[in-house]
Amino acid sequence: MTTQNRYFWDARLPLTATFPAASAVLAILMSGAPAMAGHDGDGADDSVLSGASNVHLSLSGQVNRGVLFVDDGNQTEILHVDNDNSSTRFRMIGSADYNEDISIGSVIEVQFESNSTANINIDGTTTGGNNSFTERKLELYFDHKRFGRLWLGQGDTASNGSSEVDLSGTGVIGYSGVTDMAGGIEFQDAGVAGPNIGSVLSNFDGLSRDDRIRYDTPKFGGFQLSVSQADSRKSDVAARFSGDIGAGLKVAAAVAYAVNGDVDSQINGSLSVRHSSGFNVTGAAGVRDLQVGAVNSTRDPFFWYVKVGYIWGGGIGNTAFAIDYIQADEVDSGSVEDEATSYGAFVVQAVDKIGTELYLGARQYQLDRVGFNFDDITAVMAGARVKF
Amino acid sequence: MRNLKKGQTLGRMTARILAAVALGGALAACSNVEPFDYTAIHEIPDGHGLFSGSDGEFDLYSSD
């Protein structure tokens, strides 16, 4: 290996002393390295080396922790949580150029959520068992500058994120995925627990992440088409746009069509527009067509969502404010005439110099179900996301 | 009656989304759109990192 290569090992920051997890990761990497030396006092060069050229390997991650106050009408509780809007995780991204047009890459991204806001209930126990590493992305890709990118492995399906396009700057605490804030909290009817928030509200965000094969076209004027096929005959197609269209307007949008199990078809999308003044508006909507034979297949699940916000730029970083509202009907298979709603207010303060966002948000959740009188649920969360 | 209203609402919503995307397409075709890379809500954000600095990531190895 030539001496012009740059090595993480030569950095002044002792990362391995700061992050034990990083040490483990790097130890694994080093075990497979073609050559290795080190600054271990023996005078030899201790760098991780590769026999290949035009390659790049990086490590990044974040910690996102908060304090969640919940009131389900029957009791109140303070919970210490991992914010599932954007969970605590780390990732490694590698890429190598085959020639001028073709590159190959890999992504390994895992999360570790202790008390995930999506699963924790008011007693402080999690239903999802997320107090361990869980997969997010374990994938590789082949990229051609003119023909697009082919993905293989566990990762985003084509439609994932298509209901969640959001330029408000408040997504870390509030967006169309309203169940990420307190999804495990159960509605109460005279002290008797009913369904939890996560089972009655949804933003129909495509097919999430899965083991799949996916193809993305190159971007044309900000447009991109994607298609993927996952296990269990799940398949989807999506179109995306992100561009500055002039007049100070930045626009991002997505629309998707998916087929999945009991869902004959699902159409969903989202659109977000931000003006250079800081004002922004975001909307999303989706509808599912259930298969005959699905549980309560006469249901007609749908949702719609709207958010209005303002971003003030200056000082230590952007300050973003937003309010939102969502309605989702007949999502839970246990009932045929549910109407669930939620509204919220959020503020996020970015501190650019230290890669940190401080946030505060509040949500009210409501569920109307025939034959029940569920109390509203209030959730308030404050916390910080630190990108390391 | 309720389902009829819901169906109508759904139709309108879906139509609006598709119209918005179509409008975006028209704008892209008719104007000088400057594409940008959108980072999804769930993803690690772009920009500065507390320890990694302005790169936002640790460069474990690069042959550049």
Number of H helices, E strands in chain B: 1, 2
The pair of three-digit structure tokens given for residue A177, joined into one six-digit string:
């995925």
ipTM above 0.90, yes or no: no
CB contacts, 8 Å: B57 with chain A: 58-60, 93
Residue ranges of A 322-361 with Cβ closer than 8 A to chain B: 329, 352-357
Q: Which of residues 13-32 of B touch A (CB under 8 A)?
A: 13-14, 16-18, 20-21, 24-25, 27-29, 31-32
Instruction: Give the CA angle between residues A138, A144, A147 to the nearest 5°.
Output: 110
Helix, strand, coil percentages in chain B from 3-state DSSP, rounded to 5: 45, 15, 40
Domains of chain A: 1-51 (no CATH), 63-88+157-387 (2.40.160.10)
Whether A245 sits inside 8 A of B57 (CB atoms) is: no
What chain A residue is nearest to B43 in terms of C-alpha separation? A86
Question: How many residues make up chain A in this entry?
Answer: 388
Please tell me the total number of residues recorded for chain B in this structure: 64
Q: Is the pLDDT at B6 greater than 70, yes or no?
A: no
> Could you tell me which chain B residue has the CA closest to the CA of A170?
B41
How far apart, in whole angstroms, are the C-alpha atoms of residue A60 and residue A136?
14
Place of tokens 């119209």: B19
Query: Cα separation of A141 and A155, whole Å?
Result: 11
Local confidence pLDDT in tens for the 388 residues of chain A: 333 444 433 433 444 444 444 444 444 443 334 444 444 555 555 566 677 778 999 999 999 999 999 999 999 999 999 999 999 999 999 999 999 999 999 999 999 999 999 989 998 887 655 568 899 999 999 999 999 999 999 999 999 999 999 999 999 999 999 999 999 999 999 999 999 999 999 999 999 999 999 999 999 999 999 999 998 889 999 999 999 998 999 999 999 999 987 677 899 999 999 999 999 999 999 999 887 777 777 888 999 999 999 999 988 999 999 999 999 999 998 888 899 999 999 999 999 999 999 999 999 999 999 999 999 999 999 999 999 9
The 3-state DSSP class for residue A258 equals: strand
What DSSP character marks residue A75?
-
* Phi-psi region at A278: left, alpha or beta (left = phi > 0; alpha = psi -120 to 50): left
Distance CA A347, CA A382 (A): 10
Q: What's the CA dihedral at A165, A170, A176, A179 to 10 degrees?
A: 140
Contact A241 B48 (CB under 8 A): no
Whole-angstrom distance between the N-terminal and C-terminal Cα of chain A?
29
Contact B20 A253 (CB under 8 A): yes
- In 3D space, the residue among A28, A111, A100, A105 whose CA is nearest the CA of residue A64 turns out to be A111
Residue contact B61–A270, C-beta within 8 A = no
A29, A52, A167 member nearest B60 (Cβ): A29
Q: For residue A356, what are the CA distances in angstroms to A84, A86, A152?
A: 17, 13, 32
